[in-house]
Chains A and B, each alone.
Chain A
Amino acid sequence: MIAAVSFWEYLGDNWDRLKDLLIEHAQIVLMSIAIAVVVGVGLGVLTYRSERPRLVVLAITGVFLTIPSFALFGLLISPLGLGTTPAVVALVMYALLPIVRNTITGLREVDPAVVESAQGMGMGRWRRLARIELPLAWPVIITGVRVSTQILVGIAAIAAVINGPGLGKEIFRALARVGTPTALNQALAAVLGIVILGLLLDIGYLLLARLTTSRGIRE
């Protein structure tokens, strides 16, 4: 009981700093996701129709996801230095696979009869993609983006090793002071912030998916 009370006290005393870190954390995640969506959907669109490029892209983005995050952040220090840039690069790499894979799956699941109709009515390649295929694949694509976001909220904490922004800083500070009276509370507060951020973003995606999916294809 004593520990719990002092945790809430800790939270109250450090609220301003924690709130800033939470916002930083959300910003770096969303920025990385935005870049990953552009790159990932682009790669999906370019490769979904031809088998070999598709497999290559999936293999490479799959490899990114298997590199331990500590190692990847470390590897990026020599080309990109410390701070936000290498953190964003690493996070984009982690976010790619779910987005690329779902873009490809979503586009390949579009009913061929619908695509043929569009073509038969005189829609060119890009119009077909923009007006028919991407809107129909959208629910699958946004699910991929949602998964990527969940992954990044956790991994972004590790970015603190290369001086990246976010709640990870708080966790690493706590780890450096294990044994002191506030270390546990400090780590706990940061982890709680990450969990809450993950939940909020997830709810945000559910709303976004609902608002941006045509009523004609909603479940």
Chain B
Amino acid sequence: MIGDVLNWFGDPAHWQGPDGVPARLLQHLGYTALALVFALIIAIPLGLYVGHTGRGAVLLVSGGNAIRALPTLGLVTFLFLLFTESELSTIIGLVVLAIPPILAGTYAGLQATDHGVVDAAQGIGMTGWQRLWKVEVPISLPLVLGGVRNSVLQLVATAAVAAYVGLGGLGRFLLDGLAILDYPQVVAGALLTTLLAVVLDLALAGVQRLLVPKGVRLAQAASGKKAKV
């Protein structure tokens, strides 16, 4: 079994052309990146607005939970039929599913900011914008980025499922392999998808380390709390 999978990886034919590992990997990465950019553009401002002003919080939390409960496969097949079978419909589905974790992380981050700190910022004369960018955003960054990491994991997983409606990417190895009962190919696809998810998650953990201000890290370490992801 393990030998068969190794043979699959060792076959040079699986590393070339539009069906090869590099091409599929790049496709998968491309869908993930594209959907992530759109999700960030939508979710970050919305999360900051609701977290900062407190307006629409109930709607945001319940709406986010409803989207989380949406079955991936149902959404993808529904959009595919709705938008008459284009790749764009699948990307829309990915964006929809990538939004809730980022939104929840951003909102929770702002919510969890110590009120005393925000009051102090107001007390020394900071405007609303200054409070948001110089106090609330840096303090909530660990939770925001935790949300982004969850969202990326969701995207890598969903892009694989979306191969069912004809999207390219690593999911092709999984589903094409299942269709012809080529189990080594299925396992190879599963390993590659998992590897991509793990590598992206580790990369984002690195980004998190770089971006989170030292003061926030120290404060967290001192209070014994780890940033939850």
Do these two chains interact?
no
Residue positions of B touching A, CB distance < 8 A? none
